[in-house]
Structure 1
Amino acid sequence: MSTELYQNWKENSKDYVAQNKTFYQQLRKKKKLDDEFHELDTKVFEKMDCLDCANCCKTTSPIFQQSDIERVSKALKMKVPEFIETYLNIDEDQDYVLNSAPCPFLGYDNKCIVYKNRPTACREYPHTNRKRMHQILKKTFKNAEVCPAVYHILERMKGVG
C-alpha cells in the first residue's frame, strides 16, 4: 500500500461517522449505491494490499458463527470447547468474538495462520463489494476508522480521494 494513502487515512479517519453525517444521509438516498461501491472497491484494492496494514486483525474481532468455530478449531486440531475456552468470549450482543487483540492467528508478516479456514466475517471484510450496501452503510462508515481501503472508497465517493 502506498505510504501516502495509509498516512492520509491514519490522520483523517478518526471519528469518521461524526465528521460525515451529511454525506451519510446523501448516500442513503443513492439508487445505484452497490454499483458505485463495487467499482471503487476494485479500484482501491488495485492500489492497496491488506497485508501492508492488517489493522482490522490488529484492532477488531470478527464474529464467530458456530460453523466458523468448528472450521477453525478443526484446522488447529483442537476440540471445539477447548478452542472456545482458549480464544473466544461472548460479547454484549451474545456473539462469539476473540478474547484478545491483535488476533491470535495474525502472523508477524500480517498473514493469517488459519487463512483458508478463517471466519466468514474475515472472508467478507471490509464488506465493500457486497449487495445491498444500504443495509450496512452505518457499519461501513465505522469501518472507515479501521480500514484505509474503506476510508478511501468513501472519500472517492465524496469526490475527495
Structure 2
Amino acid sequence: MSQTFSIRLLLAGQDDLICEVREAETKRLKTLLGDDDFADCFFWFDTIDGRSIVINTEHIQGVRYLWDFTPGIPDSRIDDSYEFLIALVGKEPLKESPSEDPRDMYTLFWELELGGMKTVTFIDVDGEPFTLMPKQVVYLSAPKEVIDEGRRQVEKEDEL
C-alpha cells in the first residue's frame, strides 16, 4: 500500500482545510513556506480527489503534514454538490457554480498565483463580472478537470 500524504492547513478565520495530496505537493509547500517572501503569494495545488485549490499563504497560520492519515475522511467544506468554493476572510465559503468558460477559471487561479494585482475579476455562471480582492481571499477550490481544460484552451490560443 502506498503512503498517503495529507496536509492540514490551519487558516485564519476558517475551519481547517484537510487535503490528500501527492508527495511533490507537500515538498513544494514546505519549500514555499521556507522562503522569506512566502507571505505575499498564493500556493496552487491539486488534490488526489480531483480538486484544484489556490490558497493565500498570508492566511496560513500553520500546516500539519500528516502521513498515513486515516483514508476516506473528506474535508467537510469541500462539498461535491458545489463545484466552486470561494473562502474569504471572516465569511463562510461561498458556494458558486463555476463560469461556463473554463478559461475564466484557469485565468483566475493563474492570476492569483502570479500575484501583484489589487483585484482579480472573473465572469460568473450568470455571465456577470465578479471582482475579488486577493488579500481577502483565503482560498478557492474548483474541480481540477475544469482548471485543466481551461489551461488546455489558453495554451491552444497562445499557439495561434
Return the TM-score normalized by structure 1: 0.23
**Which one has the bigger strand percentage?**
2
**Larger relative contact order, structure 1 or 2 (CA cutoff 8 Å, min sep 6):** 1
**Which one has the bigger helix percentage?**
1
Return the TM-score normalized by structure 2: 0.23
Whose Rg is larger? 1
